[in-house]
A = this chain, B = another copy of it.
Amino acid sequence: MRVKGGLRVSSGTGFKVYSKNAKLYFGKKNYIRKNCSIIVGESGMLKIGDRFFMNNCSSINCLSNIEIGEDCLFGEGVKLYDHNYDYRSKELVPLNKRGHVKGNIIIGNNCWLGSNTIILMNVQVGNNVIIGANNIIYKDIPDDTVVLAKQYPVLRSILR
């Protein structure tokens, strides 16, 4: 784990680096709020740029490779997974015995991931991207993009 300088972490947040081969780099002036979780597995590599802000209850789960650029902002409950249980395999063994499929996640500069954004493996997010709250992302997002839920919830009157 290498920290350029100015890493600030609030209570309830934990880091887990599983082996000597795992690599975790923090840029300058990073701030991680409460109850977050950062995991870097066996041979994982997680690089985070300068001025990164991660709000409460967010997590980064890196078994392979995750890179986050400069000036990125995570809302509350944001979750990144660069791996998946191998649920597509047709083996008849339980998921927890199948191991993981792994990929990467690359996030550009100046991105804002709204609360409860989930990003799955093999996603590349460009620069200047804003992702609205509660979205799950499994496709690439080009530079200069806003991402929003397609449907707004419906309102029904309560009859009394």
Residues in chain A within 8 A of chain B (CB atoms) = 11-12, 14, 33-35, 37, 51, 53, 56-57, 59, 70-71, 73, 76-77, 79, 81, 85, 87, 90, 92, 94-96, 109-110, 112, 115-116, 118, 120, 128, 130-137, 139, 141-142, 144-160
Once the chains bind, are B132 and A136 in contact (CB under 8 Å)? yes
24 inter-chain pairs at a CB distance below 8 angstroms, sorted by A residue, are A12-B35, A34-B35, A35-B57, A51-B96, A71-B94, A71-B96, A73-B85, A73-B96, A79-B133, A85-B112, A90-B159, A95-B130, A131-B153, A132-B153, A134-B136, A136-B149, A137-B153, A144-B157, A145-B157, A147-B154, A148-B153, A148-B156, A150-B151, A151-B151
Q: How far is the CA of A128 from the CA of B158 in the complex (A)?
A: 9
